[in-house]
Structure 1
Amino acid sequence: MSASSPVPSNYAAALADLKQQVRRARFTAQRRVNTELVRLYWGIGSTIRQRQQQDGWGTKVISRLADDLRAAFPDMQGFSPRNLAYMRAFAVAWRSEEVLQQAVAQLPWGHITVLLDRLDDQHTRDWYAAHSVEHGWSRNVLEHHIRTEAHIRVQAAPSNFAATLPAGESDLAQQLTKDPYVLDFLALDSDAKERHLEQALIDRIIDTLRELGEGFAFVGRQVHFDVDGDDFYVDLLFFHVEQLRYVVIELKTGKFKPEYLGQLGFYVALVDDKLRRSQHADTVGLLLVADKNDAVVRYSLGAHHSPIGVASYDLLPPAVKAALPSEADLAAALDRATSDSDSEEPR
């Protein structure tokens, strides 16, 4: 058929279907190649581990093995002494060949080295491997979630979704939330004003989207709405491309107050009316606060009809925050210092 010939009416649909078949085949082929590479690396690592135990192979033997493998297979990469050490560590961490049936075998090798470098507990490694496969995390996203200890803090934020959204949809919306969010990439102190926090989130939008989770797209900051001559501005507006819903995010630098939900509920209704299309799911709101009383949050959510979740945020990574003294510790130390000073006899 020449370029000038008329295109059949069903050509576009057939072409789209064929493109999808090609993409699926390419993805399947890439995954099989990756699985075979993981199988090879595990086998090499297992052999090295066994020879070290049985024959006492040391560093010099591993270096020679790396040189000989590179000489035998000059067109292949990955046979450096450092990578051979990773292969051994891989075989030590996942000792059984059944590893090839687990989630980790579906990960790129770079992801596996991150798991080996950053984590010691095997159960935790398996958790991150499974979530990486399920959500398609990139290596940077995986490192971010490990650094912020996602396996400890990933829990859904308190919300009223079950009461305000249709059955089934409420579960999906709940999956968009977690509590707390870790915003340590912002390099702000606890006294930062809300507008500074908003600006920092936008300046580091890639990190912000990474922390929010998969599927979020940034729409705008201080999004303007004119309501019969009155001006209103939504702090942050996102769109979730998988669930096809707008997500309104409001920031508060202080502790949660019930009245915050009224403002956010108004913005959710506004976005739902002005921007939402018929093919979109219900708009939801997410209030981020520096601190909250979960009992107060629960009672407050029960009184609102707009779908809203409430989560706290931390400006420090969990490990650093845990190492800092609490207010009670500081108060006790101050009391001791004052007591010691009072007990000293004047000279």
Structure 2
Amino acid sequence: MEVSNNIIQNIKELIRNAQNNAVRAVNAERVLLYWNIGKYIVEEEQHGKEKAEYGKYLIKTLASELQKDFGSGFSSRQLELCRQFFVTFPIANTLRSQLSWSQYKLLLRIDNEDKRLYYIEEVCNNNWSARQLERQINSQLYERLLLSNDKEKVLAIAKQEAIPDKPIDIIKDPMVLEFLGLKPQDSYYEKDLEQALITNVQSFLLELGNGFSFVARQKRIQLEDDDFFIDLVFYNRLLRCFVIVELKTHKITHQDIGQLQMYVNYYDRTEKQEFENPTIGILLCADKNDAMVKYALPEDNSTILASKYQLYLPTEEQILAQLKNEEE
């Protein structure tokens, strides 16, 4: 007798769901435990006459006692994090069940409340792992989005209180592609960059922005007797449109813009359905001339974007300096 494959798959799915639910339950209890420990520490500190000195003594004493029964997971450093956790998130019912303790520890490093709120919303919306969250914080995602948007718009989109109505709301400039492992001094071709992006497609989609899904690579289109190949094609469910990405390892030229415009026009006229928005084209280039891009496109252009890529993570000072220049 044969057992139905459906019942096997259904039971496997039940087991996986139960395992995932168990992990989430344990994570929620762990986060709440550390929050309550921090609450007790802060409340006890407030009873001390010399708060600073008593606080240090309290944490040191607690660590010594707790580690006797519960091991090294309750070191002075861990208890100080619990204290900081409660101070930063003083209302228990505002804690997010989707966030792990590892993610909360990363968020505790952020002093800016708006910036911290932005990353919390993005973790919940996109199911980022702790590693993905750390990468986005280190690459200054929030600051890069502020280069082209105001703070209120960035936070509203993250909290899903506003829908992105134009590409620049979610597409970053510059893009940081350090996950490719390519070094600035390396000599490589566009096909190498394309292959590296495809190999790391999950990280690339994360860097592209929210709502992207992969459609095609080297998409062939035929115009009479001529063949053309589009580097990468994506679809964005938030913007409800196709997104074409052309890769250039040189400084952008007006010929590059013309080529991309042709691809965008083709998709608008042959692939786009009536309910979808116009196709977006992104030129991902090693360098760009903003003035040339401006005059090579119509004044009301909203579908062609040029985004410079970087093969390394920018420092916070570099991002803040760029933000300052934009404001002046």
TM-score (norm 2): 0.69
Partner of 1:138: 129
| Distance across 2 between alignment mates of 1:227 and 1:250 | 18
Q: Deviations over 1:121-171 (max 9, x none)?
A: 35444443344345543323211101211122124769xxxxxxxxx9982
| Distance across 1 between alignment mates of 2:100 and 2:196 | 32
Point out where structure 2 has 5 or more consecutive residues left out of the alignment.
1-16, 46-52, 150-161, 319-328
Partner of 1:89: 81
| Distance across 2 between alignment mates of 1:249 and 1:255 | 16
Contact 1:103 1:130 in 2 (8 A): no
Partner of 2:57: 56
Contact 1:156 1:177 in 2 (8 A): no
Name the amino acid aligned to 1:100.
A
Residue in structure 1 matching 2:107, options 115, 124, 134 = 115
Q: Deviations over 1:27-54 (max 9, x none)?
A: 9xx9999777544421212323545835
Partner of 1:188: 182
Give, in angstroms, the shift of residue 200 of structure 1: 1.0
Contact 1:256 1:289 in 2 (8 A): yes
| Distance across 1 between alignment mates of 2:133 and 2:299 | 38
Residue in structure 2 matching 1:80, options 73, 79, 104 = 73
Name the amino acid aligned to 1:177.
I
What is the root-mean-square deviation in Å for CA atoms of aligned residues?
A: 3.7
| Distance across 2 between alignment mates of 1:206 and 1:63 | 43
Residue in structure 2 matching 1:205, options 198, 201, 205 = 201
Partner of 1:73: none
Contact 1:107 1:133 in 2 (8 A): yes
Are 1:275 and 2:271 counterparts? yes
Which of 105-114 and 245-254 deviates more? 105-114
| Distance across 1 between alignment mates of 2:88 and 2:176 | 36
Give, in angstroms, the shift of residue 231 of structure 1: 0.4
Name the amino acid aligned to 2:57.
G
Point out where structure 1 has 5 or more consecutive residues left out of the alignment.
1-22, 71-78, 159-167, 323-347
SS of the equivalent of 2:182 reads coil
| Distance across 1 between alignment mates of 2:308 and 2:291 | 14
Residue in structure 1 matching 2:34, options 25, 35, 41 = 41
Distance change (3 Å), C-alpha of 1:87 and 1:226:
farther
Larger Rg: 1
Distance change (3 Å), C-alpha of 1:306 and 1:267:
farther
Residue in structure 2 matching 1:226, options 199, 203, 222 = 222
Contact 2:38 2:86 in 1 (8 A): no
TM-score (norm 1): 0.66
Contact 1:250 1:287 in 2 (8 A): yes
Contact 1:237 1:249 in 2 (8 A): yes
